[in-house]
Amino acid sequence: MKREFLLGCLMISSLWAQELPLQTEQDRVVLRRQAGEVFDLVTPLSQKAGKSVVWVWAGGKRQLCVGTVVGDGSQVLAKWSEVARSKGQPLQCVAGGNVTYDASIEGVYEDEDLVLLKLKDSTLRPLLFAQSAKPDLGRFLIAAGPGDVTLGMGVVSVKERTLRESDQAFVGVGVENHTEGTGVVIRQVAEKSPAEKMGLAVGDIILNLNGKVIGSMMEFRSMLATMKPGDTVKVLFSREGKSLAVDLVLGSKQAIGQFPQRRLEVMERMGGEISQVRDGFPSVIQTDMVLNPEECGGPVLDLQGQVVGISAARAGRIRSYVIPSEIIVAMLQRKPVEERLAKVKTFEPGPQLSRTREVRPRLNRPDMERMRARMKEMQQLMRMLDEEIDGLGR
């Protein structure tokens, strides 16, 4: 815990200090030294896990995603929706040191959007998943790549929850933070939703759920994440200064129409490309680490070096999902679906932004300036924007 606190302090100090407009050369020297200290802390952990991580390529020309070595060392878990883009091209898995193995598809786990690849003549070591490691909110996480590559760093922003629509509780309101006190202000009410049926209206301020005070949209969303469709929740709200209460039966997202998502899609894509398949997972941990879609599929570690899961998708500017280790272990006990029977989840095409982005360089000591620039996305303004997105559609 002490080590985690030190790392967090170093990162925060580096982040805020770089915003000073009159930064001296001495300040910059201090920041470079701190960045090196951060890197020195996480590199040994990435190097250890990196022996069990590969890049997945198609036709020897195109990088698809990252893969995690499992089983007896001859199998690799990778992101199915990305591998499916190979469209029959030969697959290769490239480990640290550019050691390359031919790969074939053994089966698909559709719910988790993972594919099981079989390697030819593999000498790789399988990764050991820490099933009991469930990181709490604010815990620091590291996304490891092949060899000594560190793909990303961040913290747990939302604890383990389901993203399957049929399992998610739905109120039917779009909300924003109440700037003059606690609670969240309703800005939209979905037709035929539980909120509409119970008489909630635009302008009402939701103060608490089941007696628990709501301080922000993030708290509102986190409370709902612990509930299920069919649960009854007591909603205390304010209307024109008068406090009212209703018993609201939560609905299911799948069964009820939701708000138009185009504006949200634009906002989510402002920080770069997001994964094609980024929803519907049975269970995920949400983090604020920034990964490109082709960097998903690898192991995620805590500061003790325990593998807490596999990166599943980048879903927004500072929103990436991790499938917990216990889910991965249980999944591997099931027989995967044959490739010819497997489907790739499809979504309506979102608004396209500029695709002139250069390939993002890998994290290493000379590139710490880039890491600090990425960490700027953790600032309060970006968090508030992310909370706004999460608040809509609840």
Nearest to 184 by CA among 222, 143, 135: 222
Using CA atoms, how far residue 32 sits from 8, 16, 78, 149, 379, in Å, is 16, 14, 35, 19, 20
Range 191-216 average pLDDT: 92
Task: Determine what percent of the chain is predicted with pLDDT higher than 90.
Answer: 41
Report pLDDT for 278: 85
CATH of domain 165-255: 2.30.42.10
Give the pLDDT band of residue 290 (cuts 50, 70, 90): confident
- Runs of H (alpha helix) within the chain: 2-17, 25-50, 80-83, 194-197, 217-225, 262-268, 325-332, 368-375, 380-391
Report pLDDT for 19: 44
Q: Which residues pair with 174 in a beta bridge?
A: 188
Characterise 305 by phi-psi region: left (phi > 0), alpha (psi -120 to 50), beta (else): left
Nearest to 221 by CA among 266, 258, 168: 168
Which one-letter amino acid corresponds to residue 79? K
Grouping H, G, I as helix, E, B as strand and the rest as coil, residue 314 is: strand
Which one-letter amino acid corresponds to residue 72? D
Contact between 89 and 71 (Cβ < 8 Å) = no
- 71-108 burial, b at 16+ Cβ within 10 Å, e below that, comes to beebbbbbbbbbbbebeeeebbbbbbeeeebebebbbb
Q: What are the pLDDT digits (tens) for 81-130?
A: 999 988 889 999 999 888 999 999 999 999 999 999 999 989 899 999 98
Grouping H, G, I as helix, E, B as strand and the rest as coil, residue 373 is: helix
Report pLDDT for 325: 95
Query: How many angstroms separate the CA atoms of 190 and 223, rounded?
Result: 20
Query: How many angstroms separate the CA atoms of 35 and 374, rounded?
Result: 13
Report pLDDT for 319: 87
Q: What are the pLDDT digits (tens) for 155-181?
A: 998 888 888 877 778 899 989 988 888
Query: How many angstroms separate the CA atoms of 30 and 291, rounded?
Result: 27
Using CA atoms, how far residue 141 sits from 52, 292, 349, 362, in Å, is 17, 16, 31, 17
Report pLDDT for 159: 84
Mean pLDDT of all residues in the chain?
A: 80
Radius of gyration of the chain (CA): 22
Give the pLDDT band of residue 213 (cuts 50, 70, 90): very high
Query: Is the confidence at residue 131, as pLDDT, over 80?
Result: no
Query: Is the confidence at residue 362, as pLDDT, over 70?
Result: no
What does the block give as tokens for 40?
């020195």
The larger pLDDT score, comparing residue 331 to residue 270, is at 331
Query: How many angstroms separate the CA atoms of 183 and 177, rounded?
Result: 7
Which range of 18-22, 201-205, 356-360 scores highest in mean pLDDT? It is 201-205
Report pLDDT for 27: 67
Range 64-70 average pLDDT: 96
Report pLDDT for 225: 79
Query: Is the confidence at residue 18, as pLDDT, over 90?
Result: no
Nearest to 156 by CA among 285, 299, 334, 332: 285
Write down the domain spans for the chain. 165-255
Query: How many angstroms separate the CA atoms of 226 and 219, rounded?
Result: 11
What is this structure's pTM?
A: 0.70
Report pLDDT for 374: 56
Q: Is the dihedral of CA 260, 262, 266, 272 positive or negative?
A: positive
The larger pLDDT score, comparing residue 43 to residue 260, is at 43
Please name the residues in contact with 332: beta carbons below 8 A apart, sequence gap of 6 or more.
70, 71
Contact between 158 and 286 (Cβ < 8 Å) = yes
Report pLDDT for 258: 52
